[in-house]
Structure 1
Amino acid sequence: MNQANPNQDRADGALSNDMPEAVHADGMRILWDVPIPMSDGVVLRADVFLPQEPGRHAALLSYGAYGKGVPMQVGYKSAYDRMVRDFPDIAEGSSNKYMNWEVIDPEKWVPDGFVCIRVDSRGAGRSPGVLDPTSEQETKDIYECIEWAAAQPWSNGKIGMNGISYYASNQWYVAALRPPHLAAICVWEGFVDRYRDAARHGGIYSQFGEGWYERQVLRIQHGYGERGARNPNNGELVCGPQTLSDEELAANRAPKMSNESLNRPLDDAFYSSRKPDVSRIEVPLLSAANWGGMGVHPRGNFEGYLDAGSSQKWLEVHGNSHFSPFYRAEGVELQKRFLGHFLQGKDTGWDRQPPVQLQIRRPGEHFTIRDEQEWPLARTQWTKYYLEPATRTLGTTPATGASIAYQAMSEGLVFKLPPAREEIEITGPIAARLVVSSRTADADLFLALRLYAPDGKEVLFVGSNDPRVPIALGWLRASHRKLDTAKSLPYRPYHTHDELQPLVPGEPVVLDIEILPTSIVIPPGYTLALNVRGCDYDHGLGDAGFSDQPYPMTGVGPFRHANPQDRPPEVFGGENTLHFGEGNEPFILLPIIPAKGA
């Protein structure tokens, strides 16, 4: 049943700037469409969920472009249904009608004394202005929203942030500006480096942004009005009272991010202006990564954790889908212990929390939680496994031999370890060194770390954006092979992406390739393999077939790299050659973790 909104739209199509009266519902006081004035005169809109008890409370703020008035069951029904089917505990203890995509459910948090603030970002939902997702302007807006929240009569002056992906990435950005009243951030699967983590993997253009903008942002633009949805909780139009024309909407948004990324192959000023200096972050932070988040979600959480300047920081790594671990009881409990400690001053036991908590992964989606003191793990046995051309195996001694050519758009080459005789754990970042030539002036390298059961079938895992993913992925465009020697590490090459170094056709070059961090315990009898290819990984099992996904799910989800403008077939669709010369034997560097006591 819809609730009356005391902050009704005015006859002229604008929203009132008066503070709305609270609506009492579901054990909360709810303020719909609270005005938050920005310094440039734009008034943003927020929904505020308050405890019934008066007083000053800690507040959790989220800011994004997905529409504060769109319940998850409405906007992302298939994902919601799958989530609660697999993990029924998520739906327990809440009506779930206030649950929004990638942000906390207030019914799970307000009873514990938290205020939940959801802000529609500038130009999105109920907030007017120019739509420019993840821009510098958005970061400035979040700063002002934090300081506004701290000054409210219901606030104890300590503001935290929590959320997934979009609602995680912008935490890195604003925390680097050091708002005086930001007290803690919980960055759950959020990138930190737009170029390396999201837009261009190894210099190769990722098509994720194309679908994301059309699918999740434009349909929530402010001014979509009657063409958009209504909030079932208060009956108001999700995208504001006015219905603008297509021309008016286009005039109120910045150029498509995907167009910018496609037309900017190098890490230039456009990207640097959207990359936070995380060394400036001082507030306590919890960075939560996903082993299966290959494409946009894991790398930033590892890099952000390592580079953040805060003296109080924690890393948590989990598996499974992009949203389930965040909403499950164990995820909420972890978040509450962290935020309750720093925002409410409660004795949650967080002062005894180890710096690193890993969910060690085994086949069959089995995870074991293990506490650690650092990342990467100090006891790691960094082990080189050399690619052997004659046997297509991986061995611990350098191997030379004849070069091997492969068609770039094929399955490529697969090099396997012998079946494990005993359990082997691989946990940490990974790197590979290959020596490659092409018949053209460039080549794209796609690396997949894969696992096979004794019966020969590939073992796949639930990923953040695809239900069947391999162990780990890595990418590099050969013309982007230039390394930043100051930032590169043996297990994590770091490329400058600041100039192109074209290939001379037929002439081999050395490529150091970053493979994203992972964790896998290989059981006896199972086989680990490195797949070297010239196109996206595909498990060959066909599309997972989710009805609400406009892209096929064949192992990489929406993170595909096949745009013909970025990868013209005449350059990247031909033949590459892997070389095995003495002194430049190709290898993969694996983080072997010895058994405790070994």
Structure 2
Amino acid sequence: MVDVNVTPFEVEVRSRTGNLLRADVYLPSSGDGRYPIVLGASPYQKALRHLPPNPVFPFIEYGPIQLYLDNGYAYVAMDLPGTGRSEGTWDPVSRGEGEAIHDMIEHVAVQPWSTGSVGMIGMSHYCWSQWNAARTRPPHLKTIVAYDGATDMYRDWMYHGGIPIQGFLNTWLFGSVLYQHELRGIDFHVGDKHEYIYDVLSHPLDDEWQRRRSPFWELPSVDIPVFSIGVWGKAALHLRGNFYGFERVRGPKKLLVAHPSSFAEAQMYYFDEQFHRDELLPWYDHHLKGIENDVMKQPAARFYVNGENTYRSAASWPPPDATPTTFHLTGTHSDAVTSLNNGSLTEAEPDSEQDSTSWSYPDPQWMAGVTVFDKHGVPDHVARVNTFTSPPMDRDREFTGHGVLTLYASSDQTDIDVFVKVSLVSAEPDAGLPVKVSQGWLRASHRAENPELTSDMRPFHQHTSVEPLVPGEIYELRVELLPMSFLARAGDRIRLELTNQDSLITDAPMTHFYGTKVGTDTYHHDRGHPSTLRLHERPRT
């Protein structure tokens, strides 16, 4: 059970749309005073706050309430419209939902127990609520600390590269929202919560419906202080949003990318009181209480370097000293792994006039997505995918920043799904499985880029129309890779994996709908079609 030493009381406010919104208020037990507020908003029912943070309760994301009470803050926990005890229609991360949070912020800010200074708190969906409310610019909202939360709902998690998410959408919607309401006697038809999955599937392009649910587009209007905290272990769900959120807001801002390497670790880290004392409390103290401390003297960007297992910092993201390094895909065998092709990555430009890799799908040996099992039942995640592996590094090399795969591809079908994974393969014999350090996805019919937002190292795809392929023609595809930071030590290798679906073991819960894909794709990597993996690299001293 979560230990909170005070009993909350409920407040109500009528929103601008006429819905009655409700929140629980926790006040410090030290006396009757006026306190700055940290406010969290989610569809996960404030009535469930007694549950402990645990991977079996992934929706417990509000952080250590008692710690904030002990440090002189009021904590407000809000049920979003159409969920818990709040009226209305559940419309996740819509602008209307942001406006409802706005109305609650302005209501609690003028209560006799409030100083009028409000910050927002919480991870994942609570973080979505922070980005969402901030774009509506409530006058009393002074800061947000956005831990582990997307900003572009279409690109960050609904449709990776135009490919629909399946695994997470189902487990999140049913496990964290719908069934939890049913358990408390609230029919999930109330608030039209059951309609959401149909809405998502009915909008496969980045249309107006999607735009209203993506704070990304309005973040340049946010001028309050923002502390964006990403987590490497939830890269496929939220990490891109934390980087873009940091980049696009225009007020005082800092970026931290923390070390937890899984969904479960990210949740438990957010309940680590020492983490809050070190990072979040000083930020709130400065921006909500006016306490002079050193939070704004911190470097603009701090990040955990995987493989080196230490934190480093930079004056911006990507770091100013990061420059692109190019690895070329070749058909030459690397002798590093058993896979469909066992290709190589090389820093030398291709000199072959013809060099390509063809493969057919679905592979008859696939068992758990792309994962296969040997006769002893041991899983192998790369035996039936395409790989391109570098030679052992001749020195320690740090890759920190963005990455892009430029892939020349053709198919006997009218579309290609490209699933990209970049892994660090340790030279240490007891190191275990390779560590995934980045990944990306692209449906070839969604290859058109937005010229205003795309860049050399970070393509930004339009996703506003579908352009089918002509079978047999070669197309240049640029796949955005998620931000990364890792140290490849001398002797380590970098491995690129290419396929068209997930491993249901290593990629869960962020798995995608496979559909009815049957065909043969070809990746071209010759002199006229130089397919490349480009990664930002920092000099090592």
TM range (shorter): 0.7 to 0.9
Q: Report the equivalent of 2:268.
A: 324
Deviates more, 1:260-269 or 1:56-65: 260-269
Q: Percent identity?
A: 29
1:301 positional shift: 0.4
Q: Partner of 2:118: helix, strand, or coil? A: strand
* 8 Å Cα contact 1:64/1:121 also seen in 2: yes
**Deviation at 1:179?**
0.6
Counterpart residue number, 1:470: 436
| Structure 1 residue 220: Cα displacement | 3.8
Q: Say whether 1:37 aligns with 2:3.
A: no
Q: State the match for 1:427 in structure 2.
A: 400
Aligned-partner residue type, residue 346 of structure 1: I
Q: Name the stretch that deviates more: 271-280 or 129-138.
A: 129-138
Residue in 2 that maps onto 1:404: 357
Residue 586 (str. 1) matches residue 541 (str. 2): no
Q: CA offset at residue 459 of structure 1?
A: 5.2
Query: Is 1:253 matched up with 2:213?
Result: no
Q: Secondary structure at the match of 1:46?
A: strand
Amino acid at match of 1:187: A
Structure 2 letter corresponding to 1:404: T
Question: Tell me, what secondary structure is at the counterpart of 1:490?
Answer: coil
Change (3 A) 1:284 1:586: same
8 Å CA contact retained: 1:61, 1:159: yes
**Aligned residue among 558, 561, 583 for 2:512:** 561
Q: Report if the CA contact (8 A) 2:414-2:469 is conserved.
A: yes
Give the match for residue 313 of structure 1.
Answer: 253
Opposite residue 59 of structure 1, the aligned amino acid is: I
- Residue 512 (structure 1) shift: 0.4
1:442 Cα deviation after fit: 0.4
Q: Which moved more, 1:491-500 or 1:47-56?
A: 47-56
How far residue 490 of structure 1 moved from its aligned partner, in angstroms, is 1.3
**Matches of 2:455 and 2:424 in 1, distance apart?**
26
Does residue 390 of the first structure (1) align with residue 332 of the second (2)?
A: yes
Q: Higher mean Cα deviation, 349-358 or 337-346?
A: 349-358
Listed as ranges, the matches of 1:54-69 within 5 Å are 54-69=32-47
The one-letter code sitting in structure 2 at the alignment partner of 1:323 is Q
Equivalent residues of 1:450, 1:458 under 8 A apart: no
The amino acid of 1:37's aligned partner reads R
Aligned to 2:107: 148
CA distance in 2, matches of 1:459, 1:517: 23
- How far is the alpha carbon of 1:36 from its aligned partner? 2.8
The Cα shift of 1:164 comes to 0.5
- Which residues of 2 match residues 113-512 of structure 1 at below 5 A? 113-207=72-166, 208-221=168-181, 224=182, 227-228=183-184, 243=185, 246=187, 249-250=188-189, 252-254=191-193, 256-276=195-215, 277-310=218-251, 312-320=252-260, 321-333=265-277, 334-362=279-307, 367-391=309-333, 392-399=343-350, 400=352, 401-410=354-363, 411-454=384-427, 470-512=436-478
- Measured in 1, the distance between the counterparts of 2:386 and 2:55 equals 40
Assess if the C-alpha contact under 8 Å between 2:83 and 2:191 holds in 1: no
What 5-or-longer segments of structure 1 have no aligned partner? Answer: 3-24, 81-99, 229-242, 462-468, 539-551
Please, what TM-score do these two structures have when normalized by structure 1?
A: 0.79
TM-fit CA distance, 1:27: 5.0
1:160-213: per-residue Cα shift (whole Å, max 9, x none)? 001111100121121111110000001111110011001000000011212211
Q: Tell me by how many angstroms 1:55 deviates.
A: 1.9
Q: Is the 8 A contact 1:451 1:459 kept in 2?
A: no
Q: C-alpha distance in 1, partners of 2:111/2:476?
A: 58
Give the SS at the match of 1:487: coil
Are residues 588 and 459 of structure 1, via their aligned partners in 2, closer, same or farther at CA, if it must alter by over 3 Å?
farther
Q: What secondary structure does 1:297 align onto?
A: helix
Whether the 8 Å CA contact 1:470–1:555 is kept in 2: the answer is no
Contact 1:33-1:126 within 8 A present in 2 as well:
no
Asked if 2 retains the 8 angstrom alpha-carbon contact of 1:408 and 1:575, the reply is yes
**SS of residue in 1 equivalent to 2:237:** coil
Instruction: Name the amino acid aligned to 1:396.
Output: E
The CA deviation string for residues 213-236 of structure 1, in whole angstroms up to 9 with x for no partner, is 111111344xx4xx42xxxxxxxx
In structure 2, the residue corresponding to 1:471 is in which secondary structure? strand
Contact residue 53 and residue 61 of structure 2 kept, 8 A: no
Q: Could you tell me how far apart the structure 1 residues matched to 2:88 and 2:202 are? A: 26
Query: Residue 271 of structure 1 aligns to which amino acid in structure 2?
Result: Q
Cα distance between partner residues in 2 of 1:419 and 1:256: 51
Which of the residues 485, 496, 499 maps onto 1:530?
Answer: 496
Provide the rounded CA distance (Å) in 1 between the counterparts of 2:87 and 2:349. Answer: 61
CA contact (8 A) 1:431 1:512 kept: yes
Contact 2:39–2:119, Cα closer than 8 Å, also in 1: yes
Classify the secondary structure of the residue corresponding to 2:46: coil
Distance 1:113 1:198, change over 3 A: same
**Secondary structure of 1:69's aligned partner:** helix
Please give the secondary structure, in 2, of the residue aligned with 1:518: strand
SS at match of 1:296: helix
Distance 2:360 2:37 in 1: 55
Separation (CA, whole Å) in 1 of partners of 2:96 and 2:76: 19
The one-letter code sitting in structure 2 at the alignment partner of 1:139 is: G
Give the secondary-structure state (helix, strand or coil) at the position aligned to 2:233.
Answer: coil
Maintained 8 Å contact 2:422/2:439 = yes
Q: How far does residue 583 in structure 1 lie from its aligned partner after superposition?
A: 3.5
Tell me by how many angstroms 1:594 deviates: 0.9
What TM-score, normalized to structure 2? 0.87
Distance 1:77 1:296 in 2: 16
Report the Cα distance in structure 2 between the residues aligned to 1:294 and 1:302, rounded to whole angstroms. 11
CA distance in 2, matches of 1:508, 1:105: 54
SS in structure 2 at match of 1:385: strand
Instruction: Give the letter for the 1:270 counterpart.
Output: W
Alignment-derived partner of residue 234 in structure 1: none
Aligned-pair CA distance for 1:129: 2.9
For residue 300 of structure 1, report the CA deviation from its aligned partner: 0.4
Q: In 2, Cα distance between the equivalents of 1:206 and 1:26?
A: 37
Task: State the alpha-carbon separation in 2 of the partners of residues 56 and 380 from structure 1.
Answer: 47
Q: How far does residue 297 in structure 1 lie from its aligned partner after superposition? A: 0.9
Contact 2:416 / 2:521 at 8 angstroms: preserved in 1? yes
How much is the aligned-residue C-alpha RMSD, in angstroms? Answer: 2.3
Q: 1:356 to 1:500 in 2, by over 3 A?
A: same
Measured after TM superposition, the shift of residue 457 of structure 1 is 7.8
- The 8 Å contact of residues 314 and 320 in structure 2, kept in 1 or not, is answered as no
Structure 1 residues 281 and 210: CA distance shift in structure 2, 3 A: same
